[in-house]
Chains A and B, each alone.
Chain A
Amino acid sequence: AQKVTQAQTEISVVEKEDVTLDCVYETRDTTYYLFWYKQPPSGELVFLIRRNSFDEQNEISGRYSWNFQKSTSSFNFTITASQVVDSAVYFCALSEFPGVGADMRFGAGTRLTVKP
């Protein structure tokens, strides 16, 4: 069965620090998708990134970067030069292929607080 573990329940940093959110997953499938979502205080989950299991290239988008390592079953998320607006709960999720997304499994989430 698939499983997503976000071991960090809460992280607090000071603005401009770099921070990495860890995500470790378990799956028996060879083809799967990994996701990161951001949930700001308003409550709505905002899609950040989707990564396919056969594409291990790391990705950078502005201050955000993602490190996908199949060898360690990890999909970590780094925010560079954090800002107060980055304060949110971040969820990592796994979806096995094929499917309608009904098998998407979420981690418990990591609450990030960025202090000014």
Chain B
Amino acid sequence: DVKVTQSSRYLVKRTGEKVFLECVQDMDHENMFWYRQDPGLGLRLIYFSYDVKMKEKGDIPEGYSVSREKKERFSLILESASTNQTSMYLCASSPGGPEPSQETQYFGPGTRLLVL
């Protein structure tokens, strides 16, 4: 089974703090993703990575950065947390490749971040 783990289930931070969210997958997947989930908006893509040290902006990258130093680990960084970044953050990975099955994304349990 694919396993995607996230470092924290719940996190409380103060405005202006630098926040690190860690994600690890154990299936040697090429692609990794960070989403935020907000009520009524579904999931929105923040950043993704299709290879080590490679990153691409998603739909809402402002206020975030990412790091992928190793294939299995993809970190999301909030440079200076703000209250509008209070949200559920979901990490996902997919195998990558030409086959349809390799497009399927597998998700971690999510991190609920509260910025005060």
User: A residues within 8 Å of B by Cβ?
Assistant: 4, 9, 33, 35, 37, 42-47, 50, 52, 91, 93, 95, 97-102, 104, 106-109
Contact = CB atoms under 8 A, between A and B. Distances in A.
Contacts of A46: 107
Contact of B31 (A42, A44, A101): A101
Contacts of A47: 104-107
A50 B33 contact: no
A35 B48 contact: no
A43 B89 CA distance: 10
Given A100-B48, A101-B94, A102-B56, A108 B41 contact: yes
Contact of A100 (B42, B96, B100, B106): B96
Contacts of B104: 35, 47, 50
Contacts of A98: 98
B42 A107 contact: yes
> Closest 6 A-B residue pairs measured CB to CB?
A45-B107, A106-B42, A43-B110, A106-B43, A44-B109, A108-B42
Given A50-B100, A52-B100, A102 B109 contact: no
6 contacts: A43-B110, A45-B107, A47-B105, A95-B103, A99-B103, A101-B33
Interface in B67-116: 88, 90, 92, 94, 96, 98, 100-101, 103-110, 112
A35 B48 CA distance: 19
Nearest to B102: A101
A25 B107 CA distance: 22
B33 A91 contact: no
Interface in B1-30: 9, 30
B52 interface: no
